[in-house]
Amino acid sequence: MQWFLIFFYLAIFCFCISKIQIIKKSDVKIQWWIAIFLIKVLVGIIYGNIHSQSYGGGDTLYGFKQGIRVYHTLFDYGIFTYLKLVFLPCHYPIYSGLEKWANNSIPYGDESYYLIIRFHALVALFSGSYYNVHVVFYNILSFSGVVLIYSAFKDELKEKKYLLVVALMLIPSIVFWTSGIHKDGLALLGIAMIYYSVKNLSEFSISKFFILVFGILILYIVRSYLIAILIPILFVYLLFKKLERKLLLYYLFSFTGFALIIILISSLMSAISPLDKLIWWQSAFNNLPSTENSVAVPVLLPNLISLVKIIPVSFYHAFLNPLPWQAINIYQLVIGLQDLLLFIVLAFLILYTIFKRRQFPHLFYLSIGYTMSLYVLLGIIVPNLGALSRYKSTGTFFLCLAIISLIPIESVRKIYKYYNK
Q: What is the DSSP string of 146-190?
A: HHHHHHHHHHHHGGGHHHHHHHHHHSHHHHHHHHSSSHHHHHHHH
As a three-state string, the secondary structure of 106-153 is CCCCCHHHHHHHHHHHHHHHHHCCCHHHHHHHHHHHHHHHHHHHHHHH
Q: What is the C-alpha to C-alpha distance for residues 108 and 224, in angstroms, rounded to an integer?
A: 18
Q: Is residue 77 part of a domain?
A: yes
75 and 196 belong to one structural domain:
yes
pLDDT digits (tens, 9 = 90+) for 184-215: 899 999 999 998 888 766 677 788 888 889 99
**Considering the domain boundaries, does residue 31 fall inside one?**
yes
Q: Are residues 211 and 301 in the same domain?
A: no
Residues 203 and 333 in one domain: no
Q: Are residues 46 and 180 in the same domain?
A: yes
pLDDT at 267: 64
Q: Is the peptide bond before 322 cis (omega within 30 degrees of 0)?
A: yes
List pLDDT tens digits, range 273-287.
677 777 777 787 777
Contacts of 75 (CB under 8 A, 6+ apart): none
Range with the lowest mean pLDDT among 165-169, 228-232, 246-250?
246-250
- Taking the C-alpha atoms of residue 42 and residue 257, their distance in angstroms, rounded to an integer, is 45
Asked which of 165, 187, 222 is the last residue of a domain, the reply is 222
Q: Could you tell me if 103 and 192 lie in one domain?
A: yes
Residues 217 and 286 in one domain: no
Alpha-carbon span 156 to 178, nearest angstrom: 24
CA pair distance 78, 224, nearest whole angstrom:
33
Number of domains in the chain: 2
Q: For the chain, what is the mean pLDDT?
A: 83
Question: Domain residues for 275?
Answer: 269-421
Residues 177 and 282 in one domain: no
Residues 273, 365: one domain?
Answer: yes
Pick the more confident residue, 301 or 130. 130
Domain boundary among 202, 222, 242: 222
Query: 158: alpha, beta or left, given left = phi > 0 and alpha = psi -120 to 50?
Result: left
The verdict on 178 and 276 lying in the same domain is no
Looking at the fold, whether 413 and 354 belong to one and the same domain comes out as: yes
CB contact at 8 A, 376 and 318: yes
In a domain, 76, yes or no: yes
Task: Answer whether residue 185 is part of any domain.
Answer: yes
- Side chain identity at 336, as an amino acid letter? G
User: Do 277 and 133 fall into the same domain?
Assistant: no
> Is residue 324 included in any domain, yes or no?
yes
- Mark 360-376 as b/e (b = at least 16 C-beta within 10 Å): bbbbbbbbbbbbbbbbb
Of the listed ranges 99-103, 236-240, 357-361, the least confidently predicted one is: 99-103
Please indicate, yes or no, if residue 338 is contained in any of the structural domains: yes
| 256 domain residue, yes or no | no
**Residues 29 and 158 both lie in one domain:** yes
Residue 235 belongs to some domain of the structure: no
